[in-house]
Structure 1
């Protein structure tokens, strides 16, 4: 019997079309994803500073909303390389599998001369991954996403934090109401369905899940089979981290 997962374990993501304004509002309450994120950190004995943790959580929220705003069957990865604090923020979302995962890299991070945002989109409809790079000028993931849409999606978007861990991404469609769009604030977005004519186009269910395991991690070490001493450096076992979620796996020599 397959594993049964209750709806409450997912974050419900709604795609809402705002009639007459010609925008798509993608909205979700992220407590379920954040809860699983914290459980994962606790299991792996990982602790982040409050500032870095919030930046990672905001990035997870924004990428989830962006993945739903995009066409189906895409896998999207974002990496943000910041000078201060010196950190790499990584997040990946699969709209096909409806999952989101992410982590921080705080050790051995090269200090760039500027802050950079890298995006990669993979789809069967694309002959090769689509890559985008932009310079970001602050430490707010919501602003990064707005900059990304302007430069790479070539249409404007607005990102909002509401109460109770609710986030909303408003994406402009052709012939959108530019004056109304520019004047949006948190209060107007919170009242959107009361003040505007809207229609829910679809509802998706996302969860925090990497899917990594030792069987998936070991093939990455295949190149070390002929030179195990360089990998183990005299030890009988080493610990390998998943590059997507930072989960730790114990690897022994005979596993290679």
Structure 2
């Protein structure tokens, strides 16, 4: 839920969300864990800056999706940019989230207007390894309205290996990804309680730590070229208005565009 006062109470917080990659010895499982308060604080400040407000239930789902994508990006090889779009039948909404491993950034938004109603919930993933390269895409049907369940279904169908994802206390999330010859019985029995006491009960090794934050990087200089097709026909874009408001397709940031800007 969007609580501006609560955001101010959280400041100051760490500037980055620290994402830890942990190898669970003797289980052959990778655990990726992070506490997301810094990312969520930036996310709410972004909403306040652009006078945006998301419905509470959808807001919580988007935050879960941002967490799941961040952990997935760290579990994947370096130099990947990954974008997820989830088109739900009910509620009729599109979720979008994208993250960059090299830039250590994640952003996302909701689309609640003019959303196509699918005959089933669809999950789209697009992975790009370098600028200009053809992205690798996959599409699958997902069940339910829990983003952590979506990522488990995604791993089973697209990554061809299982994963488990959990919400822990204090806005902490953890993703377990099976590696070759993993302990299937231990993996299947994972739950929030065992995830919360991972280092106490298992032999682990911290492999690396990365620092992520919520940031899109959009600005008017990047938004205006999208409108280049209307340069010779501004009346179709502006109608009788002297200015319009454009939203970033990645983060929903609002920008005012005037006729002379084209």
| TM-score, normalisation: structure 2 | 0.93
Residue 22 (structure 2) aligns with: 16
CA distance in structure 1 between the partners assigned to 2:134 and 2:28 by the alignment? 31
Residue 37 (structure 1) aligns with: 43
Superposed displacement of residue 254, structure 1: 1.0
Which stretches of structure 1, 4 residues or longer, exceed 3 Å deviation after superposition?
Answer: none
Residues 13, 38 of structure 2: 8 Å contact kept: no
- Going from structure 1 to structure 2, the CA distance change for 1:52 and 1:7 (only over 3 Å counts) comes to closer
1:95-114 paired onto structure 2 within 5 Å? 95-114=101-120
- Tell me the alpha carbon deviations over residues 66-104 of structure 1, each in whole angstroms, 9 at most, x when there is no partner: 000000011000000011111100000000100000000
**Counterpart secondary structure, 2:200:** helix
Residues 128, 135 of structure 2: 8 Å contact kept: yes
Residue 140 (structure 1) aligns with: 146
Residue 155 (structure 1) aligns with: 161
Which 5+ residue runs of structure 1 have no aligned equivalent?
1-5
Residue 75 (structure 1) aligns with: 81
Residue 229 (structure 1) aligns with: 235
CA distance in structure 2 between the partners assigned to 1:46 and 1:228 by the alignment? 27
Residue 122 (structure 1) aligns with: 128
- Tell me the alpha carbon deviations over residues 196-228 of structure 1, each in whole angstroms, 9 at most, x when there is no partner: 110000000000001110001001111111211
CA distance in structure 1 between the partners assigned to 2:122 and 2:24 by the alignment? 33
CA distance in structure 2 between the partners assigned to 1:7 and 1:249 by the alignment? 28
**Counterpart secondary structure, 2:14:** helix
| TM-score, normalisation: structure 1 | 0.96
Question: Does residue 25 in structure 1 map to residue 28 in structure 2?
Answer: no
Superposed displacement of residue 127, structure 1: 5.2
CA distance in structure 1 between the partners assigned to 2:166 and 2:193 by the alignment? 10
Residues matched between the structures, number: 251
Which of 243, 247, 250 is the aligned partner of 1:244? Answer: 250
Which of 189, 196, 200 is the aligned partner of 1:194? Answer: 200
Which 5+ residue runs of structure 2 have no aligned equivalent?
1-11
CA distance in structure 2 between the partners assigned to 1:27 and 1:118 by the alignment? 24
